[in-house]
Amino acid sequence: MARLVLKFGGTSVGDVDRIRNVARHVKREVDAGHHVAVVVSAMAGKTNELVGWCRAASPIHDAREYDAVVASGEQVTAGLLAITLQQMGINARSWQGWQIPIRTDGSHGAARIQEIDAAEIVRRFDEEQQVAVVAGFQGIAPDNRIATLGRGGSDTSAVAIAAAIAADRCDIYTDVDGVYTTDPRIEPKARRMARISFEEMLEMASLGAKVLQVRSVELAMVHKVRTFVRSSFEDPDAPGMGDFDNPPGTLICDEDEIVEQQVVTGIAYSRDEAQISLRRVEDRPGVAAAIFGPLADAGVNVDMIVQNISESGDATDMTFTVPAGDLQKATAILEKAKAEMRYDSLQSESGLTKVSVIGIGMRSHTGVAATAFKALAARGINIKAITTSEIKISILIDGDYTELAVRALHGVYGLDKA
């Protein structure tokens, strides 16, 4: 007997028929003797509809009332799934975030989980064999009001609950059947990985792979929650679906569980990047803080930063990237504070893409970066900026070459070979 958390996203619970299919997945695990908690998202499109209603009521609205409205989508799904399970003869009840309780900070609309008291859920596991159906994406803030966790927050809810009940595994059911070496829509030869480390998944999630929310991967890594990414659209009763040790999908786990570590695990990409270059910035202590401090205060996420070495000792060039949607705001801030930031001119370019090569095996292998640069050069792709970390190389290129670059890198590292 094991404790499992099963999480189902919006497309998986898009209507009552799909909720019935979800219930069959849950029943399979209950019939196997496992204790099960289920975390559900709102039906596909419902959260957007609720957000639209809030904005229609008032463009500037109380964040606490916003949370009260948008949290209702998950509550509807949880109730419907509990009803469906009961109709199938399974002891189940729905839980809203505040009932468990899932305690958060006071940042309504983007709250962070602080603690979960799952004692009552565990008691009902042991004494009543009851399935807990939890409304994801929500908790209770210090002001005793519903607080939502931000977009994709149901993934975070699931991993946090898995940690709180000491679950043996957290299964994230979605509309894809696992984590692939790159986007299969770009590279048809992309392969589903059997296992990937927390660190690699964190990099892929933060660099454009939208399989899991970044915060959920961070939480899984901190609490060592073994997480499976699986498809909810596969037949719940198909052979192997109930295999506890090796179900179909991708296991996200500690790197110690990965016996054979490839040098490169996957290729991620992020479109709609913009580059800003500040020319002849005064080369003195405190200038970087003067530039990036106001951008951070305005909520502009700065990513790749390249500073040229100053030859004369008095001025240097500084280049960095921001999301394309923040380019106008960032340039306005920089131009307004030009005197304090002490630069001569500002240049910007949008329509760029960041392509990243990721793999924990890079720690112990040389020549990984050179291989990437040669592959791109052979296809006439110009590199605008490069940043590296222990397990990642990120390369900024013109957006028109995105698909060519992804396919080239995927092939040159042999990721298309089984």
Res 416: pLDDT: 85
Is residue 208 marked as binding?
no
CATH architecture of the domain with range 266-413? 2-Layer Sandwich (3.30)
Is residue 185 marked as binding?
yes
Res 282: pLDDT: 86
Is residue 313 marked as binding?
no
Res 312: pLDDT: 66
3-state secondary structure the chain: CCEEEEEECHHHHCCHHHHHHHHHHHHHHHHCCCEEEEEECCCCCHHHHHHHHHHHHCCCCCHHHHHHHHCHHHHHHHHHHHHHHHHCCCCEEEECHHHCCEEECCCCCCCCEEEECCHHHHHHHHHHCCEEEEECCEEECCCCCEEECCCCHHHHHHHHHHHHCCCCEEEEEECCCCCECCCCCCCCCCCECCEEEHHHHHHHHHCCCCCCCHHHHHHHHHHCCCEEEEECCCCCCCCCCCCCCCCCCEEEECHHHCCCCCCCCEEEEEEEEEEEEEEEEECCCCHHHHHHHHHHHCCCCCCCEEECCCCCCCEEEEEEEEEHHHHHHHHHHHHHCHHHHCCCEEEEEEEEEEEEEECHHHHHCCCHHHHHHHHHHHCCCCCCEEEEECCEEEEEEEHHHHHHHHHHHHHHCCCCCC
Under-70 pLDDT residues of the chain: 208-209, 260, 310-313, 418
Extents of the domains making up the chain: 3-255, 266-413
Is residue 211 marked as binding?
yes
Is residue 9 marked as binding?
yes
Is residue 269 marked as binding?
no
Is residue 168 marked as binding?
no
pTM (whole model) above 0.75? yes
Is residue 210 marked as binding?
yes
pLDDT digit string (tens) for 291-341?
999 999 998 989 899 888 766 667 888 999 999 999 999 999 999 988 888
3-255 shares its CATH topology with 266-413 = no
Is residue 8 marked as binding?
yes
CATH of domain 3-255: 3.40.1160.10
